[in-house]
């Protein structure tokens, strides 16, 4: 018998000074049994960084045609495709062909560096792919904030993110996104 996803609830307050975006969101996050709390929290971070009323968690598990998060316009066209981790190049090529903008958030230190070397050619050939290689400690620090019911405050400014649960605060320096030179 297959195990079901664990449901997490998060009340998220986002203050993104760069985008002048100040909103609260109530998120329902399905964490598949194979997904770590670290990866789930990186998905929540990606949501906060791109927050919009139309941004949604997709049904990624068992469905290669969907990203971790996406934003569609009112016609159903994909405006934003977000992957977390180290997706294969074939999936990224497909995403770049289907969406206006594609972001990847990788978070696993040295293995992410090796993966970036492997997709370097794809980065050079695409115009809409951006990769953010989070500091190795970011995912683990976010994982400490994971609870089945969370209240999180995200403050985003100048490539810096502060995430607080009211008790602990995590600071993440995003650094520059790697992007195609043809952008």
The CATH T-level fold of domain 39-154 is Restriction endonuclease-like alpha-beta roll fold (3.10.640)
Q: Model confidence over 41-70: pLDDT tens digits?
A: 999 999 999 999 999 999 866 666 799 999
Please say whether the dihedral angle defined by the alpha carbons of residues 36, 116, 55 and 78, taken in this order, is positive or negative.
negative
- Has residue 183 got a pLDDT over 90? no
Please say whether the dihedral angle defined by the alpha carbons of residues 152, 70, 9 and 108, taken in this order, is positive or negative.
negative
The tokens for 133 are 């290689």
Q: Do β-strands 149-157 and 6-16 pair in parallel, antiparallel, or remain unpaired?
A: parallel
Q: Model confidence over 100-114: pLDDT tens digits?
A: 999 999 998 888 889
Closest CA to 166 of 175, 153, 178: 153
Q: Where are the domains of the chain?
A: 39-154
Q: Model confidence over 149-176: pLDDT tens digits?
A: 999 999 999 999 999 999 999 999 998 7
């Amino acid at each position: 018998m297959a195990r079901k996803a664990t449901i997490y609830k998060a009340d998220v307050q986002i203050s993104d000074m760069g985008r002048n975006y100040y909103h609260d969101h109530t998120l329902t996050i399905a964490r598949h049994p194979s997904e770590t709390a670290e990866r789930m929290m990186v998905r929540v971070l990606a949501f906060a960084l791109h927050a919009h009323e139309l941004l949604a968690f997709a049904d990624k598990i068992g469905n290669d045609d969907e990203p971790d998060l996406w934003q569609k316009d009112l016609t159903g066209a994909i405006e934003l495709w977000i992957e977390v981790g180290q997706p294969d190049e074939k999936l990224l090529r497909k995403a770049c062909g289907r969406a206006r903008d594609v972001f990847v958030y990788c978070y696993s230190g040295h293995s992410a560096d090796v993966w970036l070397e492997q997709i370097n050619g794809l980065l050079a050939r695409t115009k809409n792919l951006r990769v953010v290689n989070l500091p190795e400690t970011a995912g683990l620090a976010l994982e400490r904030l994971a609870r089945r019911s969370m209240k999180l405050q995200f403050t985003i400014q100048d490539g810096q993110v502060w995430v607080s649960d009211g008790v602990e605060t995590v600071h993440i320096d995003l650094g520059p996104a790697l992007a195609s030179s043809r952008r």
